[in-house]
A = this chain, B = another copy of it.
Amino acid sequence: MHTAADSWSTTTPELFERIRHAVEDGRPLAVATVVDVEAAAYRRPGGRMLIEPDGTTYGGITAGCLEGPLREVAGDVLESGAATVVTYDLTEDDGWGLGIGCNGVIDVLVEPVDGSWRRAVDAYANREACSLVTAVESTDPSIPIGARTTVGSHGSGSDDQPVDDRASLPPSIVDGVAARGRACAATGDVDRIRVPTEAGEVVLVVDGIEPPHRLVVFGSQPDVRPVTQLAARVGLRVTVATARGARATDDAFPAAERVLSVHPSELADVGLDGRTSVVIMSHNFVDDGLALEAALGSETPYIGLMGPRKRFEELRAALEEDGVELSADDRERIATPVGLDLGGGEPMEIALSIVSEVVAVGNGRDGGRLVDGTGPVHERRSVSRE
């Protein structure tokens, strides 16, 4: 696991790693999740932070406003074992102009890690999406705050087994939200649903949890390392695929989740699914061509290819000579020259350019300057209400 030196900026894959350890070892750990916001807030719904019994935190859901108060709530939650939802009104006080600088109203679910997390951590480790469906408000005495079911991306929720240390949601409710659960799982979105029950009503938050985005880096020259390190640091799970057995050692790439030696034509075997990006950078014309062909035959939506346009045209011509024609769709998936236009030619600037593009495209963005755009900064995760 790549450990962030700065715990506030701990990435989501690391947070899930910690949650998994807590589930497996029975260690006490609290999770604070943003479940609703009004107006602009620092993190969107789904933003998550962990709090250990001694107050150590990992991740951050505000820019310093709530970490303190949430430590206290987490302490209570770990003692009682009961989940709770806290609401903070952080609208700036412009009277004195000394507002703490956060904005909006934010609801945070604070809960202990317990058996209700097991399915989610297993799914995450298996690169499967799921949704945590959790009661955050309830006027029904039989359904406590924190009551939960987990819906798999292809599941119905009714296959979720009850656990000892957390209430389940009644099957009738689960059936009603299963479709929303699958939808949120597919996109990582967070929904909020008000559901009438037998004895009142509950508000459920459907928290879609996608598996971590993966980056496969094909190459074995020194420039693979800074790309790998930076990608891991920003939360990508990195596989280094080296050709022909070169440098295929874990300690050459400590930030990588996996280091494999593959024949480039078998690159798809490392697992190029719809949540995996590939960067081809062996600097060997033949190997890059074989890797490109293999990647095109997979589901990966992003294939970064290092080198100037001219080199790509030569690769393309070589492939065509071998009977491999690139369709327009193929061409759409290939990013060459790879990276965002940051200028600069130093190794770390090149790594920054590449990793920034991988992150942007993974989030459906184009990497241009936000000041030049018109849309909201945060678009990807939305809370729909009913």
Contacts and interface: CB of A to CB of B under 8 A. Distances in A.
A92 to B, nearest CB: 6
Contacts of A311: 40, 103
A366 interface: yes
5 contacts: A98-B284, A101-B221, A102-B283, A103-B311, A352-B356
Contact of A346 (B11, B67, B286, B344): B11
Contacts of A363: 342-344
Contacts of A283: 63-65, 100-102
B364 A225 contact: no
A302 to B, nearest CB: 11
Kindly report how many copies of this chain are found in the complex they form together: 2
Contact of A67 (B4, B222, B341): B222
A99 interface: yes
B346 A369 contact: no
Contacts of A12: 346
In this complex, the interface size class of chain A, counting residues with CB under 8 Å from chain B, is 35 or more
Given A344-B359, A377-B308, A377-B337, A282 B101 contact: yes
Given A356-B356, A380-B344, A229 B5 contact: yes
Contacts of A8: 222-223, 225-226, 347
A340 interface: yes
A6 interface: yes
Contacts of A355: 352
A367 B364 contact: no
B221 A63 contact: yes
A152 interface: no
A170 B283 CA distance: 43
Given A63-B221, A283-B64, A377-B308, A365 B341 contact: yes
A67 B225 CA distance: 15
B360 A342 contact: yes
Contacts of A352: 234, 352, 355-356, 359
A41 to B, nearest CB: 10
B348 A368 contact: no
Contact of A284 (B100, B288, B338, B343): B100
A347 B284 contact: no
